[in-house]
Homo-oligomer: A and B are copies of this chain.
Amino acid sequence: MADSKALTTRATDFSAWYNELIARAELADYSPVRGCMVIRPNGYAIWEQMQRALDQMFKDTGHQNAYFPLFIPQSFLSREAEHVEGFAPETAVVTHGGGKELEEPLVIRPTSETIIYAMYAKWIQSYRDLPLLINQWANVVRWEMRTRLFLRTTEFLWQEGHTAHATEAEAEEETRRMLGVYRTFMEEWMSMPVITGRKTDSERFAGALRTYSCEALMQDNKALQAGTSHNLGQNFSRAFEVTFQTASGDLDHVWNTSWGVSTRLVGALIMIHGDDAGLVCPPRLAQYQVVIVPIYRTDEERSAVLEASDRVRRELVSAGVRVHLDARDGMKPGAKYYEWEGRGVPLRLEVGPRDVAAGAVMLARRTGGKKEHLPLAGLPVRIIELMAQMQHDLLEASRARREAASIRNATKEQFLAHIEGPGGLVYAGFCGSGECEADIKERTKATIRVLPDEEFRSPEPPVVCMWCGRPSVAEAVWAKAY
C-alpha cells in the first residue's frame, strides 16, 4: 500500500526526495543482501521499455544478441594490465562450488571483455568473419561501498556490446555510432538531453584507448554519466590473441569496441523529470501512457461510466496506446489520482456521468496545466498528439534547465563560485594535465565530465586552463557528478 504522506520536496533534500519517490512509486526496494536492490514491477516495466527500444536500435545497426558466462577465471582478468587494476578491487569471488574449494577462484563478471574476447579468439579466423557485432543483456557485479538505488548497486542489469573489426578506423566509427545510438535513445525516448564527448585519461575505461560518454545534468545540478562507448584498440585482442588473416594474407590483431548502459538510466529518468508529486515518465517509456479513472456515486452511474470508460480504453488500445482502466471499487478517485501521479503516468482521463452525457472526458496532464475536456470523437488521435507534445516538452524543459545551470569560458573564481554555489556545468579551458584534474577534484569534488564534441563547444575556444593558467589544449566540462 502506498504511503499517503507527501514526499520531501526536491528543494528541501533532493536525496531524501529520490528515495521516497522510489518507495512511493514502488519502483525498487532494498534487499537483505548488502548493496543489492530489488527492482519491483513498476520499476522493471520502465527498464523493459528501455530494453525494447535499445534492442531494436542495436538490431537496426546490425548487432545480434548472445550470452556469455557469469563467471570469469581470475587469471583472465589479469591478462590486460590496466583492466585488472581497474576492476580487481571491486570483484566478488566464488571460491567454492558443489561443496568443494575451487582450484582457481572465479570472479563474477564486473564487465565481460575478458571472457568474450577469449571466445572471439576461437571464432575469428579471417577478415570474412569481421565485423563481429554482438550485444549481451546481463547482470554484472561490482562491489560498491556506498550504494544508491538504481544509481550504484553491487549488482546491476545492463547491456554490453562487444565488437571486433578489421581496421582501427572501423572500430572508431563503431564506437562513435553506438554513442550516437545512446544519444538518440536518451533524447528521443527518455527526453533527456545529453552532452557527448571524450573522457580524459583519468576517467577512461580500464583497458580502453578512448572512452566516449553521454553526460546529463540532473535537477540538483549534479551530472550523471548515462552511457559510455569505448574504443579498445588492440589492447584486448593482444591480451587474448584475437587474430585474423587479412584480405592480403597477413595476420593482424582485431580492433575492438565495447559500450554499455544500465539500470542506472532508471535513476536518471527519475532525477531529470520527477517532481514533488513523484515520478514523471515520458510517454514513450511509460508502462501505462494513459490511466482512465471512472467517477460515480450511484450504481446506475457506475455502470454507465464503466461502460463508457471501457469503450475509451478499447479505442486507445486499438490505436496502440498503453492504457489502464483503474476500476478498483472502494477507492476514491482522488486517491487514485494521487497514486498514478506518484507513478508518473503521463495522461489521466477522468470519466464522470456528466462527461458521458456530453460525449467527452476530462484530461489531466502529469506535467500540470489546466484540466480540459476532450470530445470522445477523435480521442485516440488527440491522445497521440498530446503524448508527442509531452515527449518534446520534457526534453526542451530539461535542456533549458541544463543551459540555465551552465556557465562558459569560466575563470577559476567563477568556476569555484558556480561549483560551490548553485552547481551545474562549467565549460572552461583545460591544460590537459592529470595533476590539475586531481587538484580540482580534491578541492571541489568536481570532475571533468567530458571534453565535449564540437557541437557542444563554446563559440570561442578557451585560451588558458582555468585552473593553472597554462595554455588550454581542450575545452572541458566540469561538474560534481553521481
- Residues of A near any B CB (own CB < 8 A): 1, 29, 31-33, 36-41, 44-45, 47-48, 64-73, 76, 88-99, 105-106, 108, 115, 118-119, 122-123, 125-126, 128-129, 134, 138-139, 141, 143-145, 154-155, 157
CB atoms of B66 and A38 under 8 A apart: yes
CB atoms of A94 and B92 under 8 A apart: yes
CB atoms of A93 and B96 under 8 A apart: yes
Residues of B within 8 A of A99 (CB): 88-89, 143
CB atoms of B139 and A70 under 8 A apart: yes
Q: Other CB < 8 Å A-B pairs besides A29-B122, A67-B157, A97-B154, 18 of them?
A: A1-B126, A1-B128, A31-B115, A32-B115, A32-B118, A33-B73, A33-B115, A39-B66, A41-B65, A44-B65, A44-B67, A47-B67, A69-B155, A70-B108, A71-B92, A89-B98, A92-B98, A96-B105
CB atoms of A33 and B89 under 8 A apart: no
List of 7 A-B pairs having minimum Cβ-Cβ separation, nearest first: A98-B143, A41-B64, A36-B69, A39-B67, A93-B96, A92-B97, A97-B143
Residues of B within 8 A of A126 (CB): 1
Closest Cβ of chain B: how far from A124's Cβ, in Å? 10
How distant is the Cα of A93 from the Cα of B89 in the complex, in angstroms? 19
CB atoms of B36 and A64 under 8 A apart: no
CB atoms of B115 and A72 under 8 A apart: no
Residues of B within 8 A of A88 (CB): 99
CB atoms of A67 and B89 under 8 A apart: no
Closest Cβ of chain B: how far from A78's Cβ, in Å? 14
Residues of B within 8 A of A90 (CB): 98
CB atoms of A33 and B71 under 8 A apart: yes
CB atoms of A33 and B72 under 8 A apart: yes
Closest-by-CB residue of B relative to A128 is: B1
Closest Cβ of chain B: how far from A461's Cβ, in Å? 42
